[in-house]
Amino acid sequence: MDKSVGITARLDRTEALKLALEVSNRFKAAGFSVFLERELAELVGEGERAIPLEKMDTDLIVIIGGDGTILRTCLRIPKPETPIFAIGLGTRAFLTEISHERALEAINLYIKGSYKIETHSKIASFIGDFRLPDALNEVFITTRHLSKILHAKIWKDNVEVADCWGDGIIIASQVGSTAYSFSTGGPIVDPSLDAFIVTPVCPVNLIRPIVFPDNSRITIEILKPKNATIIIDGDYRREIGGRENRITAMISEHKVNFIRFRYDFYRRLRERLLFPLEEENEQKT
């Protein structure tokens, strides 16, 4: 039975478009059925292989770009657990392992079966009975107007945890602990821990990030203002208000699966988050 691969890429980078065509040709040469996201296919002259991202029901999805491209893709693909082969264009993309220089070499390893699957939990969130798209990194709750302070209560299961006054509240997954939550002072969670984090953003009262076990049900009850905004993975946005004042979050039944060739979380952490600015400054001097 033929295997299929879908390819998507950052569309505003020439090197991404060039690499997407090279990746497509390599998989085709190996006997894969290859499809490209519609806009990408048109840009690289592969219109006969075009398919909307929302209908990319393939055995593998190759993403060329940074973390934003990965998050956007994971929000839209029809089967959330389809393995992701992420190729990075820069030095800061934390979710990618393979650089664009080593992309074709890594594809050869994948074709030979020399790879591992790295699995991460996602966050399911609800407004009442309405389910929002699952988040790979975080669910961010904030006010519609930046000048306003969000006042909300944080609940774990049916227990009130804390009142929060601030710019917003982040509910982050384990993998999301290295993203927005990290930049606002949240802890980094080791991949072996089944947990997620609630991080207040710029709180004016004495409250700090809290790590909860993965069987928790977290509810954010918005008290003021009456209207608020939910942003998922920096891409999906929904306005809420009136009686819709509670957002509930828990670990999703769906996972995300990354293709990996070597797994070294702390090496990636050192190289891309903890010391990259220092290394860049050394290179400039």
Block residue for tokens 């296919």:
41
Q: How far apart are CA 35 and CA 39, in angstroms?
A: 12
DSSP code, position 149: P
Active site residue 67: yes
- Cα-Cα end-to-end distance for the chain: 55
Give me the residues paired with residue 37 across strands: 51
CA 134 – CA 122 distance, rounded (Å): 6
**Which of 2, 57, 67, 157 is the catalytic position?**
67
CB 15 within 8 A of CB 9: no
What is the spatial distance between Cα 58 and Cα 121, in angstroms, rounded to a whole number? 21
CA nearest to 173, candidates 275, 29, 74: 74
Assigned token pair, 195: 């947990």
> Given the structure tokens 């821990």, which residue do they identify?
193
Cα-Cα-Cα-Cα dihedral of 25, 26, 29, 30, to 10°?
Answer: -140
Q: Tell me how far apart the alpha carbons of residues 36 and 26 are, in angstroms, rounded to a whole number.
A: 14
Catalytic residues: 67
